[in-house]
Amino acid sequence: MTTRANDARTAHAAGVERLLASYRAVPPTASVRLAKPTSNLFRSRAKPDAPGLDTSGLTGVIAVDPDARTVDVAGMCTYDDLVAATLPHGLAPLVVPQLKTITLGGAVTGLGIESTSFRNGLPHESVLELDILTGTGEVITASPTEHEDLYRAFPNSYGTLGYAVRLRIELEPVEPFVELRQLRFHSLPDLVAAMGRIVATGSLDGARVDYLDGVVFSATESYLCLGTQTAASGPVSDYTGQKIYYRSIQHDEGTTVDRLTIHDYLWRWDTDWFWCSEAFGAQRPLVRRLWPRALRRSSFYGKLMRYEQRFHIGDRIERLRNRPPRERVVQDVEIPISRCAEFLNWFLATVPIEPIWLCPLRVRDAEGWPLYPLRPLETYVNVGFWSTVPVGSVEGATNRLIEAAVSEFDGHKSLYSDSYYSPEKFDELYGGDTYRSVKKRYDPDSRLLDLYAKAVQRR
């Protein structure tokens, strides 16, 4: 073991001790929460009633094992730092969520997804074992053979069953470059049919497909984005400057090609937070030239968004224009591919939000994950839409409408944003009985928040 690896393990052990000390300092009557400088959650939360847990020592990569193709990572390590540690070895996590500040622990206890998910599933499926700080104040190791009930229930529990302290995950080999093909479709059923064929075969026209996602701009303009790893060098595009990635996808007919480094491919969406940087003017040519490149990233846009929400700047502007306030609609939903075109047509006819992101996925573990019970080995399509709409007659009117539609289309909704389910419906969708059983075992005194209280009641 190298000196650097020893130092990283020593630093991690010290970080765990600080975490435990901060846990013991939380009054028994107060809820235990993390103290985090950033968050990729998009639901409002109540003000904490006690200081958060000290996670300052849990932000690094502990050790990469290139031979075993695994990496040990602290729970609060960002994917930005994780990828920076693995790419020099020609390796990457099996699924790298799109935004640099998403943490590995967050992607596992919540849900992450990306363009490898059609072949690699979701981030938690690459976890070989993880250390979890439970509600009892103990750190235990969970895996498919040890504390399996907690291992299975941890994904989609959002910190209500414990916090990931250390995770060991699988890695896969990657090449230095990604060749891109962008296919234009004029019909959503045609796009979804092509997506299904690619997922089933892992190829298109005899060429291997390593990465697959898509963008819908309208019912008559949509694209599949296919990536293939390659070692062949050549000119590459740069979308961290004046050029905007999602705009580069658009063309009139047929297929266009592009090439990125593997690093820039993994972070292609981060520079403009997909397309949401437009809300801050960052896509206007003059503003973009003046906008510092270092601040052209999702984490900075997130800070601006939280500032806007704190002071209700958007609603004030709408009021000056004699328009109603806006409702935030920031959601990702999983729809069976057999119903995807139908859902997209419903959405485009009902909700005034474009573009829409598409990402196919297949849960590869046959035993499944009880708190987010997608059917194993069945193809779903993650549909992501992130914007605002005029407020309706009740709080969350459009979000409620979408929730009902997702159920009608046999889909499932992630819990990182606003939810309005009844307790009964929530139990039905998110493994209520299993959750309560695991909660009772690992957090018997309810030191951690309840999942329904956190996800729906926003405590």
At 282-334, the pLDDT tens digits run 999 999 999 999 999 999 998 998 888 787 777 777 778 888 889 999 999 99
H helix or E strand, kind and range, residue 326: strand 326-336
User: 332 with 416: CB under 8 angstroms?
Assistant: yes
Nearest C-alpha neighbor of 43 from the set 309, 438, 312, 285? 309
Non-local (6+) Cβ contacts of 284 within 8 A are: none
User: 343 with 411: CB under 8 angstroms?
Assistant: yes
Alpha-carbon distances, residue 325 vs 46, 278, 317, 387 (angstroms): 22, 19, 9, 13
Which residue, chain included where needed, has tokens 């270092």?
Answer: 294
State the pLDDT at residue 3.
64
> Which domains are assigned to the chain?
3-174+440-455 (3.30.465.10), 177-268 (no CATH)
Considering only the C-alpha atoms of the chain, give the largest distance between any 2 of them, rounded to a whole number of Å: 66
Work out the angle at residue 311's Cα, subtended by the Cα atoms of residues 306 and 317, and round it to the nearest 5 degrees. 105
Kindly tell me if the per-residue pLDDT of 389 is higher than 70. yes
Helices 337-350 and 397-408 cross at an angle (nearest 10°) of 150
The pTM (predicted TM-score) of the whole model is 0.94
What is the per-residue pLDDT across 106-135, written as a single tens digit (0 to 9) for each? 999 999 999 999 999 999 999 999 999 999
State the pLDDT at residue 42.
59
Q: What is the mean pLDDT of residues 185-207?
A: 97
Alpha-carbon distances, residue 31 vs 27, 28, 49, 211 (angstroms): 8, 8, 7, 41
Structure tokens belonging to residue 191: 């796009």
Least confident of 9-23, 151-165, 208-222, 294-308: 294-308
State the pLDDT at residue 49.
59
**Mean pLDDT of the chain, nearest integer:** 94
Query: Residue 349 — very low, low, confident or very high, per pLDDT cuts 50/70/90?
Result: very high
Other CB atoms closer than 10 Å to residue 441's CB: what's the count? 16
Q: Distance (Å, rounded) from C-alpha 30 to C-alpha 449?
A: 10
Structure tokens belonging to residue 135: 């509600």
Q: Distance (Å, rounded) from C-alpha 43 to C-alpha 20?
A: 27
Q: Distance (Å, rounded) from C-alpha 427 to C-alpha 441?
A: 18
State the pLDDT at residue 38.
58
State the pLDDT at residue 44.
61
What is the per-residue pLDDT across 368-384, written as a single tens digit (0 to 9) for each? 999 999 999 899 999 99
Kindly tell me if the per-residue pLDDT of 46 is higher than 70. no
Work out the angle at residue 239's Cα, subtended by the Cα atoms of residues 238 and 244, and round it to the nearest 5 degrees. 145
What is the per-residue pLDDT across 233-252, written as a single tens digit (0 to 9) for each? 899 999 999 999 999 999 99
Q: What is the mean pLDDT of residues 205-227?
A: 98
Which residue, chain included where needed, has tokens 């510092």?
Answer: 292
State the pLDDT at residue 29.
86
Structure tokens belonging to residue 2: 């190298």
Least confident of 9-13, 32-36, 68-72, 284-288: 32-36
Q: Distance (Å, rounded) from C-alpha 161 to C-alpha 12?
A: 22
Q: Distance (Å, rounded) from C-alpha 197 to C-alpha 214?
A: 14
φ/ψ of 272, rounded to 5, equals -115, 20
User: 127 with 120: CB under 8 angstroms?
Assistant: no
Kindly tell me if the per-residue pLDDT of 158 is higher than 90. yes
Kindly tell me if the per-residue pLDDT of 408 is higher than 70. yes
Helices 188-201 and 337-350 cross at an angle (nearest 10°) of 150
User: 42 with 61: CB under 8 angstroms?
Assistant: no
State the pLDDT at residue 1.
53
State the pLDDT at residue 36.
65
State the pLDDT at residue 322.
83
Structure tokens belonging to residue 162: 């414990």
H helix or E strand, kind and range, residue 172: strand 163-173
User: 52 with 36: CB under 8 angstroms?
Assistant: yes
Alpha-carbon distances, residue 382 vs 38, 119, 356, 450 (angstroms): 24, 14, 10, 26
Kindly tell me if the per-residue pLDDT of 43 is higher than 60. no
H helix or E strand, kind and range, residue 341: helix 337-350
Least confident of 14-28, 39-53, 124-138, 339-353: 39-53
Non-local (6+) Cβ contacts of 70 within 8 A are: 64, 128, 168, 169, 170, 171
Structure tokens belonging to residue 115: 């363009």
Query: Residue 361 — very low, low, confident or very high, per pLDDT cuts 50/70/90?
Result: very high
